[in-house]
Chains A and B, each alone.
Chain A
Amino acid sequence: MSQSANNTAFVEFERVQKSYDGETLVVKDLNLSMPKGEFLTMLGPSGSGKTTCLMMLAGFETATHGQIRLGGTSINDIPPHKRGIGMVFQNYALFPHMTVAENLSFPLEVRKMGKAEREQKVMRALGMVQMQDFAGRRPAQLSGGQQQRIALSRALVFEPELVLMDEPLGALDKQLRETLQFEITNLAHQLGITVVYVTHDQTEALTMSDRVAVFNDGRIQQLAPPDELYEKPQNSFVAQFIGENNTLEGVVQEISADACIVRLDSGDIIDALPVNVSKVGDRTKVSIRPERVEYDKSRLRPGAHTLKAEVLEFIYMGDIFRTRLRVAGTDDFIIKTRNAPDQVRLTPGTQIEIGWLEKDCRALEA
């Protein structure tokens, strides 16, 4: 970690570990540094340690080892209510015995703010989520989406610089989720707040975040902006976890700085980009995104290696076609093609040849 990154870091995890039972580590050596105003998503399967990290940041769990810093000062020993971090929960956690306005007023009251100022701030916060008309309602009288809007404005009403969101949209239907994703990112950028967002939904992570931290097994597997994460996964877990992916296994046969040739277990030869392989003879898993696979030879580099493939299944999905192929001994090789006017619909049984640009085929560790 460079010195300059340390200086601008707003939220910082340094060598943080967490264990609940003293036998296994749920979080293993976490290092993370966020600048102010960043929207960072912690993405990972359940049990990967992402929620634990969030809870340590909020103060509801204590780190077994390491430092957590906020604005340069260690917050390890500061109780949650003094951290001034806004938080949005998956089940909204709106207080059922208070009206919407009372819910929003609560953080201001405990800060001993005057009544007039409170009312003004509450109405402004409700205005941010277009919920002014619901001030007098009880949470139970609101729909899930409305409740989450209120929860969001409650987390923002006391103007925290850091807001944590723990799978806030998990309980909503798809359409509502998309609307709220958009609203949350907009609000975060408008207000210039720093957001740590936890989700297991990769689409959500990719669409909302400035950077995504992919968690697995208590470690950050890759921390990168969404496009980099998708297009340049650093290891096979990230490649598998983010988006759809075709994997072929083989051994490196030739390698240079920006290209390598891999002999697959089926004997076929392909072109790939060396990512996690260093020398001839390394075992590798190559990963190719389904939409980067070409079956039109004219679009490939002359002399590129191709593979024989047999079409097994053609699925019409509206905006795209999804075709399942038998390639190099596996029959779950997927290709995706856009539903364009001149697009060919492959019929099952057809023999084709497929290939790709070598930068799209990443040779990762086995």
Chain B
Amino acid sequence: MSEVMLAADGRPLKASLNRALRRQKLRALMLIAPLLIFIMLTFIIPIGQMLFRSVENQIVGDTIPRTVAALADWDAEAEPVPGEDVFSAFAKDMMVAVELKQHTRLGSRLNYEASGLSSLFRKSGRRVDDMGEGYADQFAAVDPAWADPATWVTLMAAPRWVERQAAWDGEGAEPKFILSASITDDLPQTASIYADFARVTQSEDEESPTEETPWNVVYLALFEDLTANPDVQIAGPVGDLVAATVPQLAAFTQEDIRAAFVAADDGWEETRVWKTIQTYSAPYTDGYFLNAIDLQKTPDGVAWQPENEQIYITLFLRTMMMSVLITVSCILLGYPVAWLLANLPARKANMLMILVLLPFWTSLLVRTSAWKVLLQQQGVINDTLVWFGLVADDNRLALINNATGTIIAMTHILLPFMILPLYSVLKTIPPSYLRAAKSLGATNWTAFWRVYFPQSVPGIGAGSILVFIIAIGYYITPEIVGGTKGVFISNRIAYHISTSLNWGLAAALGAILLAMVLLLYWAYDRIVGIDNVKLGG
């Protein structure tokens, strides 16, 4: 056992040292704290949240909770279309969603998984208002009190809310509706939907439940509750009304909610639609990630997307391949320049350095657009080639709106990111190494290849990592000069963020891209060693 070293005061030396260094560490932390906080707030947290969207799927469970619960036991094999209970739950959910204007969002979300659902939700939203109207009329016919908002408040509201509401002077917001404690047990469905009604009425319409007749679906729920439990005993004045109403229920004409939905859109009779809702009812999903690699979650398990819809793996591979090509061309073009920079006298080297940095003084868009002018079929380069007779006039080179255009323009744009780290490494290699090699009998090429080049590898590594990582996530240039064959995965991500609004898929694609970069970084560390990367010094 090694003995613990003690400081002069008898405390362990380690503890003593830690104490002495704590102030220093604290000061160092304070110095970076502003940046750390800034990065956390503007970078880490937003990226984390964005990536979280790739698995998040709470919109289904949050928007149609009753339906999700009712669908849990549904077995598509035994029953191609769910029963009346599911449709009834769905009517209530839809009523709330329509009032909150959330049914179209849910429709768009589910449309990513099965096309047609978006319009299905939109169309049905207009009809759901009428569902249960028959029950409302029949309840009112039994006793007009059922159409009176006050009856419902007495039945549903907690006494303390009634007091507060009565004391409310009309200024500011009405006190938030509070459901009576006992009614949830007595009339569970009705209480639940009435609570939603009261909440929506207060928040969306800025009306009072005391003055509004409940939605028709509330009467539907009441009918279901009373039919299920005819012996319910409710205290208070409305208890008598309920008791008086129950015997009449048998005579009620029953409404067919399912038929009402089918009448709105016969899509509701398709098993596919309900399977999709059931499959995507969990709060978290791997569906986005599966989509991001051309797979899909079908009711029968994971399967490939149809052949003509498989694009992401191709795009990922293309992004990788083109980034590698761009990195290699940057090395080939940048190395000689970096060598010159490192070996020229200071004055000339400074001049050359300004030329290298010149692109940074010009907007990226301008540079990319300039390439568009240069590379197009009637552009400067093709014109020159035709003029020299190197290319036939009717057979001009396609240099833009394809992968070639992307590679040319991006190599140009990323070249400084290769030259600068390379230069700073080459600058540290003393010229005496080359001289020594030559004095030992090596030709210029041998001296370069065996002595100079190996020492410049760390610079190539640093430049390559930089260029590759920037390239793999590049967006603007491929968008402008890439056409269809030269776009990157980032362009697809941008499309899903800003056009299709499928943020979940965009987040999944982004997460895969991030994982790929980290994986490559890890592989680089294993093969070359990250210690071998130098940005100078």
Contact = CB atoms under 8 A, between A and B. Distances in A.
Interface of A: 58-60, 79-87, 89-91, 93, 95-97, 106-107, 110-111, 154-155, 158, 164
Given A97-B454, A97-B455, A110-B446, A89 B441 contact: no
B387 interface: no
B455 A58 contact: no
Interface centre among B430, B433, B444 (most CB of A within 10 A): B433
Given A60-B435, A89-B432, A93-B432, A106 B455 contact: no
A155 B432 CA distance: 14
Given A89-B432, A97-B454, A106 B439 contact: no
Contacts of B386: none
Interface in B421-454: 430, 432-433, 435-444, 446-447, 450-451, 454
A59 B440 CA distance: 12
Given A89-B436, A93-B435, A97-B455, A81 B443 contact: yes
Given A95-B451, A96-B455, A97-B454, A106 B430 contact: no
A85 B432 CA distance: 15
Contact of A154 (B430, B433, B440): B440
A199 to B, nearest CB: 17
A106 B440 contact: yes
Contact of A58 (B433, B435, B437, B441): B435
Contacts of B435: 58, 60, 80, 87, 89, 93
B433 A107 contact: no
15 contacts: A58-B439, A79-B438, A80-B438, A81-B438, A81-B441, A83-B439, A87-B440, A89-B436, A93-B432, A93-B435, A96-B455, A107-B441, A110-B443, A158-B441, A164-B439
Given A80-B439, A81-B441, 20 more contacts: A59-B438, A80-B438, A81-B442, A82-B441, A86-B440, A89-B432, A89-B436, A90-B432, A93-B433, A97-B454, A97-B455, A106-B442, A106-B451, A107-B440, A107-B442, A110-B440, A110-B441, A110-B442, A111-B441, A158-B441
Contacts of B441: 81-82, 84, 107, 110-111, 158
Contact of B436 (A82, A93, A97): A93
Contact of A95 (B433, B439, B444): B433
B445 to A, nearest CB: 10
Which of the listed residues A81, A83, A158 has the most CB atoms from chain B within 10 Å of its own CB?
A81
Interface in B28-83: none
A111 B442 CA distance: 8
8 smallest A-B Cβ distances: which pairs? Answer: A107-B440, A93-B436, A87-B439, A93-B432, A80-B438, A97-B454, A81-B438, A110-B442
How big is chain B's contact interface, by range? 10 to 19
A14 B5 CA distance: 71
Contacts of A80: 435, 438-439
Contacts, number: 66
Contacts of B433: 93, 95
Of listed B432, B440, B441, B444, residue having the most chain A CB within 10 A: B440
B370 to A, nearest CB: 40
Contacts of B438: 59-60, 79-81
B150 to A, nearest CB: 91
Interface of A is mostly: loop
Contacts of A158: 440-441
A81 B455 contact: no
Given A97-B455, A106-B450, A91 B430 contact: yes
A164 B430 CA distance: 19
Interface of B: 430, 432-433, 435-444, 446-447, 450-451, 454-455
A153 to B, nearest CB: 12
Contacts of B443: 81, 110
Nearest to A93: B436
Contacts of B437: 95, 106
**Which of B432, B436, B439 is packed against the most chain A CB atoms within 10 Å?**
B439
**Which interface residue of A85, A97, A111 has the most chain B CB atoms within 10 A?**
A97
A82 B447 CA distance: 13
Contacts of A81: 438-444, 447
A60 B438 CA distance: 9
A138 to B, nearest CB: 13
A125 to B, nearest CB: 12
A60 to B, nearest CB: 6
B483 to A, nearest CB: 44
A233 to B, nearest CB: 34
A81 B445 CA distance: 11
A97 B449 CA distance: 12
A81 B450 CA distance: 14
Contacts of A89: 432, 435-436
Contacts of A97: 454-455
Contact of A87 (B436, B444, B446, B454): B436
A129 to B, nearest CB: 17
Nearest to B457: A97
Contacts of B454: 97
Contacts of B447: 81
Given A96-B455, A106-B450, A110-B446, A91 B439 contact: no
Contacts of B444: 81
Contacts of A110: 440-443, 446
B348 to A, nearest CB: 14
A93 B430 contact: yes
A95 B442 CA distance: 13
Contacts of B440: 81, 86-87, 106-107, 110, 154-155, 158
Contacts of A90: 432
B500 to A, nearest CB: 52
A155 B444 CA distance: 18
Nearest to B429: A96
A83 B441 CA distance: 8
Contacts of A84: 441
Nearest to B443: A81
A178 to B, nearest CB: 25
Contacts of B451: 95, 106
A80 to B, nearest CB: 4
Contacts of A87: 435-436, 439-440
Contact of B432 (A79, A86, A91, A164): A91
Residue of A60, A80, A83, A89 with most chain B CB atoms under a 10 A cut-off: A80
Contacts of B436: 87, 89, 93, 95
A203 to B, nearest CB: 25
A93 B435 CA distance: 9
Nearest to A60: B435
A59 B455 CA distance: 24
A229 B526 CA distance: 61
A97 B441 CA distance: 18
A95 B429 CA distance: 10
A96 B436 CA distance: 12
Nearest to B435: A60
Contacts of A111: 441
Give the one of A86, A96, A106 with max B CB within 10 A: A106
A154 B439 CA distance: 11
A85 B450 contact: no
B343 to A, nearest CB: 13
